[in-house]
Amino acid sequence: MGDEPVNVKEYQILAKQALPKMYYDYFAGGSEDQHTLRENVAAFQRITLRPRILVDVSKIDMSTTILGYKTSAPIMIAPTGMHKLAHPEGEVLTAKAAAACDVIMGLSFMPTCTIEEVASSCNAIRFFQLYVFKRREISALMVKRAEANGFKAILLTVDTPKVGRREADIKNKMIAPQLKNFDMSTEVDDSGGSKLEAFAARSFDPSLSWKDIAWLKSITKLPVLLKGVLTREDAVKAIEVGVEGIIVSNHGARQLDYVPATINALEEVVLAVQGRVPVLFDGGIRRGTDVFKALALGAQAVMVGRPVVFGLTTKGEYGARRVIEMLKDELELTMALSGCPTLSDITRNHVRMQSDNRH
């Protein structure tokens, strides 16, 4: 392979060569049998495209607005933890890459740079991902800091009452670095397994439930989106409790194994939501065609997790930026070759799923 990757998957190969095994496994891995991890990518490969011909595609417009914020493409950076394990400058560089590409960045609740450092580094539009700790005051303070530092939305992760069983982390005795973002020690008793999991078990509030959305909405003016919705039942409930958006996500297959690939859960949620709130999507996006397929199935935008981290690992800000640029370029080409000059031209009729028998 030449030095300059030509697609985002090649960044993963380079990252594997560059990172200590413990860190690579943390970034790349999924839970238990990693069935869902494989499916998140494989399910995209089973969806084919139905291009339309003889459409004027001399101008392609990928720009859109997400929650009212203009962005160059329906692609966002997903919140992923601890970027300094990938690159010494961490999330600050990821934010700069987002700003350079004019896309929105999701910042994890567990970053290795502080909220303030990320906010002051550049003018990227940023959303803040929230975990709710047993010590609620810690989570509430993070929300306040995010709001004070110009973050535009809260992405409440709802698929993690407990951390999934990530066996590579257990074997590697994954460390829990001190996260200077919060005033709380990440030190745990040495149980011999994943220290990160032990820290999460001690900290995350497994009693978080629907009634707590009202609490969250009472402490912030920012729109609240639920990250981790996989069923029509929960999509309907989410709208009932007044959230401003839904993210179809299975946490990059790091939580419950044997949930469906997110691309196979997307349409069910979209049909239940009926356009009442935006539906975002993440999990397994590795190609512009994947972005196109998610949009065709009703997502307003997609978020990209691991590929950005692997770009950051390999070539810092430039690598993270190239990952987003490659996905944008591939999406642009897919739109041209499918006869879709604008995002609103992309419809359900542009994809065929194996379960479809209507075409």
Give the number of other CB atoms < 10 A from CB of residue 145. 17
Q: What angle do CA 294, 27, 42 make, to 5 degrees?
A: 35
Residue with tokens 């691991």: 306
Question: Which tokens hold the place of 211?
Answer: 């009634």
23 is in an annotated binding site: no
Site residues (vs ligand FNR, CB under 6 A): 26-27, 40, 78-81, 108-110, 129, 157, 227, 249, 251-252, 254, 282-285, 304-306
247 is in an annotated binding site: no
- Of 197, 85, 178, 71, nearest in space to 127 by CA: 71
Using the minimum distance from each CB to ligand FNR, give the nearer residue, 252 or 311. 252
Quote the least distance from Cβ 192 to ligand FNR, whole Å.
Answer: 22
End-to-end CA distance of the chain: 40
Out of 83, 87, 251, 350, pick the active-site residue. Answer: 251
48 is in an annotated binding site: no
Using the minimum distance from each CB to ligand FNR, give the nearer residue, 5 or 252. 252
Taking a C-beta distance cutoff of 8 angstroms, is the pair 228, 160 a contact? yes
Quote the least distance from Cβ 108 to ligand FNR, whole Å.
Answer: 4
Whether 251 is catalytic is yes
Quote the least distance from Cβ 304 to ligand FNR, whole Å.
Answer: 5
Taking a C-beta distance cutoff of 8 angstroms, is the pair 15, 314 a contact? yes
24 is in an annotated binding site: no
Using the minimum distance from each CB to ligand FNR, give the nearer residue, 203 or 340. 203
Closest CB to ligand FNR: residue number: 305
251 is in an annotated binding site: yes
Dist. CA 184–CA 203, nearest whole Å: 10
Using the minimum distance from each CB to ligand FNR, give the nearer residue, 81 or 316. 81
Quote the least distance from Cβ 85 to ligand FNR, whole Å.
Answer: 9
Q: What angle do CA 251, 332, 276 make, to 5 degrees?
A: 50
Dist. CA 160–CA 306, nearest whole Å: 18
Dist. CA 315–CA 112, nearest whole Å: 18
92-128 burial, b if ≥16 CB within 10 A, otherwise e?
bbbbbbbbbbebbbbbbbbbbbbbebbbebbebbbbb
Quote the least distance from Cβ 128 to ligand FNR, whole Å.
Answer: 10
Using the minimum distance from each CB to ligand FNR, give the nearer residue, 50 or 152. 152
Binding-site members for FMN are 79-81, 108, 129, 157, 227, 249, 282-286, 305-306
* Residues that are catalytic: 251
Binding-site members for glyoxylate are 26, 131, 166, 251, 254
